Amino acid sequence: GENVEQHPSTLSVQEGDSAVIKCTYSDSASNYFPWYKQELGKRPQLIIDIRSNVGEKKDQRIAVTLNKTAKHFSLHITETQPEDSAVYFCAAPRRNYGGSQGNLIFGKGTKLSVKP
Amino acid sequence: KAGVTQTPRYLIKTRGQQVTLSCSPISGHRSVSWYQQTPGQGLQFLFEYFSETQRNKGNFPGRFSGRQFSNSRSEMNVSTLELGDSALYLCASSTTGGVNSYEQYFGPGTRLTVT
């Protein structure tokens, strides 16, 4: 069945260091991979996404890489800051009843702590 | 555009009771998905509605049900509440199709406590 595995479940880094979170997915037909950030007491918010026709996408200090052959994708945060502390979720499309790609199945999340 | 809204924001119920939660999507969005969030379990998918039809369903018991109205607003109902149903219930909306159809925008959630 469909599955999204996310590692690590917790990650602690020193301010200024880089952080990497990895996810694997099971459906080889998946073509959209978003990352969400959820700060304490707030709703998840989309921070970056990548589609299967590219291998990497960057947005300032955040980047996502995709390896379709290995069916894994990663979130990279450089020069981490205390405000990056949050829970990060990866996701991939879920199959609808009719087999088409539908909404999202999420990984279990990574709690990132950035120490000043 | 106004964001996704959910009501009520907080709810306290007793075991055995039932509860109805409401979600209003972003204007123009026709898909509404519901998730249960508990510590350590991440975002567990309940169901998705698109144009008033259930398009997908997660692995939750039949006590959890939902519906969508013609204006795309959605409700979810939990009957015979159990202590384990205490959670943050999030809804998310997305557009009808095209390359942006997977982008989901979350509401603030309804915090349900069952005592």
Task: Dump pLDDT digits (tens) for B2-55.
Answer: 799 999 999 999 999 999 999 999 998 988 999 999 987 789 999 999 889 998
Q: How far apart are CA A75 and CA B84, in angstroms?
A: 32
Is the pLDDT confidence value at A80 over 70?
A: yes
In contact, B50 and B42? CB cutoff 8 Å? no
CB B69 within 8 Å of CB A60: no
Alpha-carbon span B60 to B67, nearest angstrom: 15
Cβ of A97 within 8 Å of Cβ of B55? The answer is yes
CB of B110 within 8 Å of a chain A CB? The answer is no
Average pLDDT in chain A: 91
Return the minimum-mean-pLDDT range out of A88-92, A93-97, B11-15, B108-112.
A93-97
Q: What share of chain A is helix, strand, coil (3-state, %, to 5)?
A: 5, 60, 40
Structure tokens belonging to residue B77: 């109902």
Q: Does B11 touch chain A (CB under 8 A)?
A: no
CB B71 within 8 A of CB B51: no
Buried b (16+ CB within 10 A) or exposed e, B85-111: bbbbbbbbbbbeeeeebbbbbbbbbbb
Q: Give, rounded to a whole angstrom, the gap between the first and last alpha carbons of chain A.
A: 41
For an interface test with A, give the residue of B30, B31, B32, B43 to mutate (most A CBs within 10 A): B43
